[in-house]
Amino acid sequence: MPLPPRINLPNLPFHILNRGNNKEPIFVDVSDYKYFLSLLLRFKKELLPKIYNFCLMPNHFHLLLEPSSKGSLSKIIQKLTLAYAKYFNQKYNRVGHVWQGRFRSSLVDKENYFIYCGLYIELNPVRAGLVNKPEDWPWSSYHYYISAKNENIINNLIDDNPYYLELGPDPSSRSDNYQYQVNKLMEEECLNNIRNQLEKGILGNLEFQEKYKVLYVSINSSFRTQGRPKKLL
């Protein structure tokens, strides 16, 4: 089935996913992860998106970002993946495709599902069995939200998830509540609901889907939510 056309509008958040070709590793050592983040920071400064959450996995990456101008979503990811592919092929003396193909972008309901999507992204290493707790994985935005001590590049890279600020009156209470909520989100039914909606191109409640799905001509007209995750507070 053909992929739906991009919703390429400004000031709307998107979940971005791209994988290595044939699901092969795209990050082999620590320097690869760091270089990818440096590229992401470079293009953030150039194209001015807001980046709320990220997770770099051995063979794919996730981003939750909000482009600032029309058409800039594709520009950001194209620049990022092309620059990294050039670096990766040169470093490992290889030729051919680094990426599996067209990146996936899913529109996210900022009012109802925004923070859930960010938590879902940061739970990837746990779901994949790479670590037992999200704080044990160094290559995600989780550390930004639970600790005041971060590498400078992550501090410069991340924009505060606006709903994170509603989790408490001060940084300490917000950090504690964030860790508590990420554990609640580990429930399999909740994770499957988010995953299924992202795969269909829109993560949101029924009203949000009806508003935006006309821009995705390939989305089935019978597409409906399977239930909203539990409230955070």
Domains, the chain: 14-215 (3.30.70.1290)
Residue 99 DSSP one-character state: B
pLDDT at 225 over 50: no
Return the pLDDT at 7. 62
Angle, CA of 84, 90 and 96, to the nearest 5°: 75
Q: Which two tokens stand for residue 71?
A: 């058409």
Spatial contact of 20 and 225, defined as CB atoms under 8 Å apart: no
pLDDT band at 224 (very low <50, low <70, confident <90, very high): very low
Return the pLDDT at 218. 42
Return the pLDDT at 90. 97
| Averaged pLDDT, 80-105 | 94
Distance between CA atoms of residues 117 and 221, nearest Å: 23
Distance between CA atoms of residues 44 and 142, nearest Å: 19
pLDDT band at 189 (very low <50, low <70, confident <90, very high): confident
pLDDT band at 154 (very low <50, low <70, confident <90, very high): confident
pLDDT at 86 over 90: yes
pLDDT at 188 over 70: no
CA 150 to chain centre: 19
Percent of the chain with pLDDT over 70: 85
Return the pLDDT at 150. 58
Mean pLDDT estimate for the chain = 85
